[in-house]
Amino acid sequence: MNHYETVFILNPVLSDTQIEETVKKFEDFLISRGAKMVAKENWGLKKLAYAIQHKKSGFYHLFEFTAPGEVITPYEQEFRRDERIMRFLTVKLDKHAISWAERRRVKLQTKA
């Protein structure tokens, strides 16, 4: 099982319900294929550095999960097929990135 992190940007014209449905869809996709969710974060509406599909902002979400490597290709295909997704990036975390992500989560929890 490899450790991964995905950040994806949703179209800003979506309603809260549509955003929740989309996030749930991708979470269920991972879980149904044997992945274990480590963390989920909703970063909210943020301004983009440059326009994507003529939009200047988007809803950012982060998934941190462990999964077998063969899950990633179909997972990314689902992102490409979904018109609500403007951009996505999945990276495999090494031991340093995993420890950094843990420290970041702890820091966020102490602020809340």
Task: Dump pLDDT digits (tens) for 35-91.
Answer: 999 999 999 999 999 999 999 999 999 999 999 999 999 999 999 999 999 999 999
Three-state DSSP state, 60: strand
If pLDDT is split at 50, 70 and 90, which confidence band does 112 have?
A: low
Q: What is the CATH number of the domain that holds 31?
A: 3.30.70.60
Residue 10 has pLDDT above 80, yes or no: yes
State the pLDDT at residue 109: 83
Which range marks the domain in which residue 83 is found? 2-111
Query: Measured between alpha carbons, how far is 4 from 15 in angstroms, rounded to an integer?
Result: 28
- When divided into structural domains, the chain yields a total of 1
- On whether the CB atoms of residues 9 and 55 are closer than 8 A, the answer is no
- Of the candidates 16, 33, 17, 8, the residue with the CA atom closest to the CA atom of residue 89: 8
* pLDDT for the residue 83: 96
Q: Is the pLDDT of residue 111 over 90?
A: no
pTM for the complete prediction? 0.91
SS3 content of the chain, % helix, strand, coil (to 5): 40, 40, 15
